């Protein structure tokens, strides 16, 4: 297996290193010293620099002002972003526009993608379900209204949502978008969403939230919901990182047909890209933490010698290096399966599961060892390691327990016997 990166992918990573070079992880108050959110917004100045470097449009085609790159390039950039704990919705925005480009309708793509690639609007994804443990697509129900028989239903869903056109009930395309149809019965082809999605990243800062939902005939759809849309209620939640998240409540929210993606596989593909991107963030964070530990152990002396020269310290650091290399190879395997779409002995979800197993376990072991080898210095709020620990815990919780992914992988192997 040749994981050599292309010149374009390497150029994206190099551009990211340049943009993130001046980012300091402690530019906002420490979450250990803050009762609420560490900041009211994400790093808008950094977001503008990412847009200027064309890093927000990596996955977009040329017609939308993008570079036409793939999941591997995005993961390379995310790896660099997490090394400095970049406070931007890069993963969520990039994954959302990529999914809409691949599965959305032309009208939806033309109204959102180029603007998102230029950084003019921000998209996020509600991917954690009602509790953070159940499937996100089951947390919201979606019903499509059809005036042909005067009732709600999903009998028109197979049309791919094309019935919406530019008529009544459409979202305005702005952050405070209210359906232009006004109150009363839903318009022909409109969808009605009800349910709750928890811990939505950047929910208070994004202009649109991509919400997975389940139809009555047990299919998954993706609804693009404006933050201020009628029937949308946000409740503040705080992450372990100190960032503000949102509980998104949908109370009979009416969404225009053009803003609902009904294509088969759209949510599964978006979920795989989000997960793989999270694994890339875990890898970058772990690499930076191990480098901090190496630097500290080389300077800290005990008994007249740097502690890095002690065998017990060296062995622990070596074990964490092995974790990182395993996280890396499984990440690129998963990203390559998503980017190439190449069939294999197992579905791509199997490779994503393996990457999640290593990332969720590996990032936890790396930061725990770092804290141990730093001693009490690792808990000092004037030293950034405690921030990396908090971010690592957030990533670990986002990925979920390795045991669950191992069980899923076992079921997958049972359904697709090898050899």
64 burial (CB, 10 Å; 0-12 / 13-18 / 19+) is buried
Give pLDDT, residue 299. 87
Number of CB atoms found within 10 A of residue 43's CB: 17
**pLDDT of res. 132:** 81
How far apart, in whole angstroms, are the C-alpha atoms of residue 278 and residue 314?
A: 28
d(C-alpha 149, C-alpha 385), whole Å: 61
Question: What is the rounded CA–CA span in Å between residue 168 and residue 399?
Answer: 40
Confidence at residue 153, expressed as pLDDT on a 0 to 100 scale: 52
- Per residue of the chain (419 residues), what is the pLDDT tens digit? 566 899 999 999 999 999 999 999 999 999 999 999 999 999 999 999 999 999 999 999 999 999 999 999 999 999 999 999 999 999 999 999 999 999 999 999 999 999 999 999 999 999 999 988 789 999 999 999 875 554 555 444 433 333 333 333 334 344 444 333 344 566 668 999 999 999 999 999 999 999 999 999 999 999 999 999 999 999 999 999 999 999 999 999 999 999 999 999 999 999 999 999 999 999 999 999 999 999 998 888 788 888 888 999 999 999 999 999 999 999 999 999 999 988 888 999 999 999 999 999 999 999 999 999 998 888 899 999 999 999 999 999 999 999 999 999 999 999 988 76
CA distance 391 to 363: 10
Instruction: Report the pLDDT value the prediction gives residue 309, as an integer from 0 to 100.
Output: 80
Strands (E), 290-330: 301-302, 305-306
- Tell the burial category of 301 from Cβ atoms under 10 Å away from its Cβ (0-12, 13-18, 19+): exposed
For residue 210 the two structure tokens come to 């991509």
């Amino acid at each position: 297996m040749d994981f050599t990166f292309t010149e374009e992918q390497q150029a994206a990573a190099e551009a990211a290193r340049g943009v993130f070079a001046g980012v300091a992880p402690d530019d906002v108050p420490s979450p250990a010293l803050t009762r609420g959110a560490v900041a009211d917004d994400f790093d808008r100045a950094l977001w503008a620099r990412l847009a200027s470097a064309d890093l927000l449009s990596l996955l977009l085609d040329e017609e939308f002002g993008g570079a036409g790159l793939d999941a591997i390039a995005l993961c390379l950039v995310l790896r660099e972003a997490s090394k400095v704990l970049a406070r931007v919705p890069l993963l969520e925005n990039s994954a959302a526009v990529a999914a809409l480009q691949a599965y959305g309708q032309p009208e939806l793509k033309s109204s959102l993608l180029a603007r998102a690639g230029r950084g003019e609007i921000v998209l996020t994804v509600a991917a954690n379900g009602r509790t953070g443990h159940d499937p996100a697509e089951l947390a919201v129900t979606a019903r499509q209204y059809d005036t042909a028989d005067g009732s709600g239903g999903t009998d028109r869903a197979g049309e791919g949502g094309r019935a919406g056109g530019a008529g009544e009930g459409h979202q305005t395309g702005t952050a405070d978008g209210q359906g232009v149809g006004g109150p009363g019965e839903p318009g022909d082809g409109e969808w009605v969403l009800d349910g709750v999605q928890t811990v939505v990243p950047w929910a208070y800062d994004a202009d649109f939230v991509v919400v997975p939902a389940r139809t009555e005939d047990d299919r998954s759809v993706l609804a693009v919901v404006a933050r201020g849309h009628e029937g949308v209620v946000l409740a503040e939640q705080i992450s372990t990182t100190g960032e503000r998240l949102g509980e998104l409540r949908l109370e009979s929210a009416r969404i225009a047909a053009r803003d609902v993606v009904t294509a088969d596989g759209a949510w599964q593909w978006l979920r795989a890209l989000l997960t793989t991107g999270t694994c890339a963030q875990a890898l970058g964070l772990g690499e930076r933490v191990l480098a901090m530990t190496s630097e500290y152990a080389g300077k800290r002396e005990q008994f007249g010698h740097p502690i890095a020269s002690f065998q017990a310290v060296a062995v622990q650091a070596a074990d964490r290096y092995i974790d990182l290399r395993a996280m890396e190879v499984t990440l690129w395997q998963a990203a390559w399966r998503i980017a190439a779409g190449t069939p294999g002995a197992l579905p791509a979800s199997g490779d994503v599961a393996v990457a999640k197993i290593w990332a969720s376990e590996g990032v936890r072991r790396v930061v725990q060892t770092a804290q141990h080898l730093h001693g009490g210095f690792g808990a000092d709020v004037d030293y950034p390691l405690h921030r990396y620990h908090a971010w690592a815990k957030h990533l670990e919780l986002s990925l979920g327990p390795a045991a669950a992914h191992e069980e899923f992988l076992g079921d997958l192997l049972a359904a697709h016997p090898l050899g």
